[in-house]
Amino acid sequence: INAEYMGPFSNVMPTFRRFVEIGRVALIGYGPDVGKLAVIVEIVDQNRALVDNPLGGVHRHVINFKWLRFTDFVVPIAHGCRAKALKAAIVSSGALDKFASTCWAKKLEARNTKAALSDFARFRAMICHKQNEYKKKVTLAKLKSTTARKTAVAKVANYKPKAAPAKAPAKASAKAAKKK
């Protein structure tokens, strides 16, 4: 961002950084290529861009911006570069590997793995989950009982008998006698 253009706001960091630009890596969120990564090769108009990813199985086509989820990664390419140059730029920048190490990619991978489970695999996962929860419950009960014992022992060790209550003053006993 040009600091001179921003004027008095030149020291303020912009809150949005995932702009539509040539080389921006995006996740396709809708359509036949959903879940695949693509790189913006050319901007067609305000609503559409030409995307491609020869490594990820996305053929070169025009796609609406609303179908794209922009990532933080940008591949350094020229406007409308060909597939061979794009492939070399993707490999040299390592953008796909960087994306694979993000929490976003790991969450998508976990979601896809869970969706691909068979009925028996889901059953085994349920049994493992129940066993783990039972182990946690038993361990927590043991910890609670040992801490309860420790506090009881500490109370006994720190026990100090209370002092006997002082006798009431003579005036109070005289008033009680008059009432009778």
User: pLDDT tens digits for 118-140?
Assistant: 999 999 999 999 999 999 999 99
More confidently predicted of 57 and 8: 57
The predicted structure's pLDDT at residue 143 = 87
pLDDT for 16 beyond 80: no
pLDDT, mean of residues 14-38: 90
The two three-digit tokens of residue 145, written as one number: 């009982």
pLDDT, mean of residues 74-100: 93
* 64 and 33 Cβ atoms separated by less than 8 Å: no
The per-residue pLDDT of the chain, averaged, comes to: 86
177 band by pLDDT with thresholds 50, 70 and 90: low
| pTM, to two decimals | 0.64
The predicted structure's pLDDT at residue 62 = 96
pLDDT, mean of residues 86-98: 94
The predicted structure's pLDDT at residue 150 = 76
Report the distance separating Cα 101 and Cα 71, nearest Å.
12
* 44 and 50 Cβ atoms separated by less than 8 Å: yes
Of 13-22, 114-123, 153-162, the least confident: 153-162
pLDDT for 172 beyond 90: no
- Pairing mode of beta strands 24-28, 37-43: antiparallel
Percent of the chain at pLDDT > 70 equals: 78
The predicted structure's pLDDT at residue 147 = 81
Residues facing 37 on adjacent strands: 27
The predicted structure's pLDDT at residue 65 = 95
| DSSP code at position 80 | T
Q: Would you call 43 helix, strand, or coil by DSSP?
A: strand
Residue among 91, 79, 83 nearest 60 (CA) = 83
More confidently predicted of 177 and 47: 47
The two three-digit tokens of residue 105, written as one number: 């990619």
The predicted structure's pLDDT at residue 1 = 47
